Amino acid sequence: MPSVKVLEAKKAEVAAISERLQNACAGVIVDYKGINVADDTVLRKELREAGVEYTVTKNTMIELAIKGTELEGLSECLEGTTALATSADDYVAAARILCKFASTHDNFNVKSGFLDNEVISLEKIDSLAKLPSRDVLLATVCSVFNAPIAAFARAVQAIVDKDGETAEAAAE
């Protein structure tokens, strides 16, 4: 029978995972089996720079943390080696980085994911991964808003230039 100290540590770990999942806007569960240390280090660095928390976690701990929540559907994928990546403020970072990494590494697979406390399919994870970053999306929206204003400014300038030519012709 496990000691009280071990049980308390496991309860604390389950509570930490549960809080992490509640505070995350998006997350991805992956099977990390078969990657080497160098690749794992590069992956973790990229995730850390994007603000994604990535940890290897025991399946039973995740299962206990999601029990009785909307994320209980994730328990279907909790077999084998499992790593959990969560992001508190970026909906696409974890999916984009992990799907890109999975496409170049045969043994690394995306198992499942969630978005706003709702389990999503692998197709939705792939479509999230293909979205550009938030900064690129904001720049695209700004350019769309700026285009009509710029076209109007060019039209006004063309009218001014044309009136200037007409005035010069009349003066001659």
Q: What is the pLDDT along the chain (172 residues), one digit of tens a residue?
A: 678 888 898 889 989 988 988 888 889 999 988 888 999 999 999 999 989 999 998 989 989 888 888 888 888 888 888 999 999 888 888 899 999 998 888 888 899 889 888 888 888 888 888 877 777 777 888 887 787 887 778 888 888 787 666 555 555 5
Break the chain into its structural domains and give their ranges.
4-131, 132-172
Helices 122-130 + 93-104 axis angle, to 10: 100
State in words which class domain 4-131 has: alpha beta
For position 46, what pLDDT does the model report?
Answer: 93
Give dist(CA 84, CA 94) in Å, integer: 10
For position 75, what pLDDT does the model report?
Answer: 84
For position 157, what pLDDT does the model report?
Answer: 83
Q: Are 50 and 97 in contact (CB under 8 A)?
A: yes
Q: Cα–Cα–Cα angle for 106, 108, 114, nearest 5°? A: 135
For position 68, what pLDDT does the model report?
Answer: 84
For position 168, what pLDDT does the model report?
Answer: 57
For position 44, what pLDDT does the model report?
Answer: 92
For position 172, what pLDDT does the model report?
Answer: 56
For position 1, what pLDDT does the model report?
Answer: 62
Query: Does the CA dihedral 42-58-64-99 come out positive or negative?
Result: positive
Give whole-number Cα distances, 53 to 3, 96, 123, 144, in Å: 30, 14, 22, 33
Encoding tokens for residue 49?
């720079």
Question: What are the phi and psi torsion angles at 51 (to 5°)?
Answer: 80, 20
Q: In this structure, which amino acid lies at residue 119?
A: V
Q: Residue 160, Cβ neighbours under 10 Å: how many?
A: 9
Q: Which helix (H) or strand (E) holds 117?
A: none
For position 53, what pLDDT does the model report?
Answer: 92
What's the pTM? 0.73
Match 């280090």 to its residue by tokens. Answer: 41
